[in-house]
């Protein structure tokens, strides 16, 4: 089985929902650049101050910032047996940077050890998903007021913490995120295909069905 799993797809396509399940199943870390950057914003770090100005506009945070966050994270001991990257790389430039980071660390390579899973879905469905998303700030469980609501409105089923809405999950910023995705991230589809590491997943199905299909993609590879 592969060691590095890369989840590629537009905002709201379900990458985070499925990554959490796969990380639990394989007992490997779920590395989500969006959450790492939001944690820096919450802690008011220098990096978080830079990141906020881009995230609020739905734009990509500069490569130098994201690259240091990723390198620090995948160098950690818990990544030795593999990991899932959710939201990185997000441009061809970032994919090339990842190859350089992997060379520096000296463990895995994209061509031999990575599987990129593309979440295929229509953008209009996704705006509704995003504005109805809520998440738990404590255990990170993701909900949706329409498709996957908590049992008690606004409270996490797992740890009873009050749920929050992400600042960038409003319609205006969500539309800007889709534009950024089309311009910067969509070309990665061809890049990974050329590299021979791409598999596709229909992401407009129920969460449980996507999970069954994802397991086939991961375990049959």
List the catalytic residues. Answer: 15, 90, 133, 166, 177
Three-state DSSP class for 116?
strand
Among 30, 52, 73, 133, binds ligand AP5 (CB under 6 A): 133
Q: Which helix (H) or strand (E) holds 188?
A: helix 188-195
Verify binding: residue 144, ligand AP5, rule CB under 6 A.
Answer: yes
Residues 46 and 130: their CA atoms lie apart, in Å, by 28
- Going across the sheet that includes 114-120, the strands are 30-32, 83-86, 4-8, 114-120, 198-202
| Residue 30 buriedness (CB in 10 A; 0-12 / 13-18 / 19+) | buried
Verify binding: residue 82, ligand AP5, rule CB under 6 A.
Answer: no
Among 107, 140, 147, 161, binds ligand AP5 (CB under 6 A): 147
Query: Where in 107-126 is the site for ligand AP5 (CB under 6 A)?
Result: none
1 alpha carbon, distance to own chain's centre: 21
Among 90, 116, 191, 198, binds ligand AP5 (CB under 6 A): 90
Q: CB–CB of 114/6 below 8 Å?
A: yes
Query: Where in 35-74 is the site for ligand AP5 (CB under 6 A)?
Result: 37, 54-55, 58-61, 66
Closest approach of Cβ 2 to ligand AP5, in Å?
20
Among 4, 6, 12, 28, binds ligand AP5 (CB under 6 A): 12
Closest CA to 3 of 196, 220, 218: 218
Q: Which residues of 165-186 are buried (b: 16+ CB within 10 A; e: fewer)?
A: ebebbeeebbebbbebbeebbe
Verify binding: residue 13, ligand AP5, rule CB under 6 A.
Answer: yes
Q: Of the two residues 113 and 184, which places its CB atom closer to ligand AP5 in the complex?
A: 184
Task: Give the binding range for ligand AP5 (CB under 6 A) out of 71-79, 96-104, 128-136, 151-159.
Answer: 128-136
| Footprint of ligand AP5 (CB under 6 A) | 9, 11-17, 33-34, 37, 54-55, 58-61, 66, 87-88, 90, 94, 129-130, 133, 142-144, 147-148, 168, 177, 205-207, 210
């Amino acid at each position: 089985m592969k060691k590095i799993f890369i989840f590629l797809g537009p905002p709201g396509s379900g990458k985070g929902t499925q990554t959490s399940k796969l990380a639990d199943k394989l007992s490997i870390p779920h590395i989500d650049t969006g959450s790492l950057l939001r944690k820096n914003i919450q802690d008011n770090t220098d990096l978080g101050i830079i990141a906020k100005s881009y995230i609020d506009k739905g734009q990509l945070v500069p490569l130098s910032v994201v690259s240091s966050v990723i390198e620090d994270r995948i160098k950690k001991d818990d990544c030795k047996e593999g990991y899932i990257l959710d939201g990185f790389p997000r441009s061809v430039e970032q994919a090339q940077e990842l190859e350089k980071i992997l060379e520096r660390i000296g463990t895995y390579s994209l061509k031999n050890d990575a599987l990129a899973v593309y979440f295929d879905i229509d953008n209009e469905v996704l705006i509704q998903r995003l504005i109805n998303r809520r998440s738990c700030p404590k255990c990170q469980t993701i909900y949706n007021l329409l498709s996957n609501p908590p049992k008690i409105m606004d409270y996490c089923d797992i740890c009873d913490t009050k749920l929050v809405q992400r600042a960038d999950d409003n319609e205006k910023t969500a539309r800007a995120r889709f534009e950024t995705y089309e311009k910067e991230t969509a070309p990665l589809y061809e890049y990974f295909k050329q590299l021979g590491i791409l598999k596709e997943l229909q992401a407009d199905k129920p969460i449980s069905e996507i999970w069954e299909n994802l397991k086939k993609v991961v375990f049959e590879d």
